[in-house]
Amino acid sequence: MEERFIEFKGGPRRPRQKRTRVTLNNRGVFFLNTVAVAALKKAEAVKLFYDPHKQVIGLQPTIALEPNSFPFRVKDRNLNRIINAVSFCKHFDIKVLRTVEFNNVQTGEDGIMRLRLTDTTVIGLEPDGRKGARQI
């Protein structure tokens, strides 16, 4: 029988402080590291968009007073930020069972950061609280 290999799309990891890191957990919370925040021009909030056909989430930097904006919250003493987007995820029926990290995060010339739901790596715990190690 022939093998049916699946390519690992996570790739080797650069040091955390040098790569754009965005995650989404099962509670609808996005985490953005300092590099991702800088790519969004250190905005105080974002507008969220979704393309259901391509399964791409868009984050557009904006001010917190703008209608429909999701303000950043400080995660820790660094410039890491979180976005509580449970209403966005529920509206578009975006569900992740475990925390996922978006691979190949890109910010276009229009300033919108693009997160592809089809290009993620699962990094969270399994629903029963165990790490995601495969049992053999």
Determine the Cα–Cα distance for residues 57 and 116; give it in Å rounded to an integer. 6
User: Which is nearest to 114 in space by CA: 69, 62, 61, 58?
Assistant: 58
Determine the pLDDT at residue 18. Answer: 80
Tell me what the pLDDT averaged over the chain comes to. 88
Tell me: pLDDT of 11 over 70: no
For residue 17, what pLDDT band results from cuts at 50, 70 and 90? low
**Quick one: average pLDDT of 45-62?**
97
Pair 66, 122: CB distance under 8 Å: no
**Quick one: average pLDDT of 102-109?**
94
Q: Give the H/E segment covering residue 34.
A: helix 34-39
Q: Of 29-33, 51-55, 122-126, which gets the smallest average pLDDT?
A: 122-126
Which has more confidence, 97 or 126? 97
Q: Give the phi and the psi of residue 59 in degrees, each rounded to 5.
A: -115, 115
SS (H, E, C) 5-45: CCCCCCCCCCCHHHCCCEEECCCCEEEECHHHHHHCCCCCE
Tell me: pLDDT of 127 over 90: no
For residue 8, what pLDDT band results from cuts at 50, 70 and 90? confident
Tell me: pLDDT of 2 over 70: yes
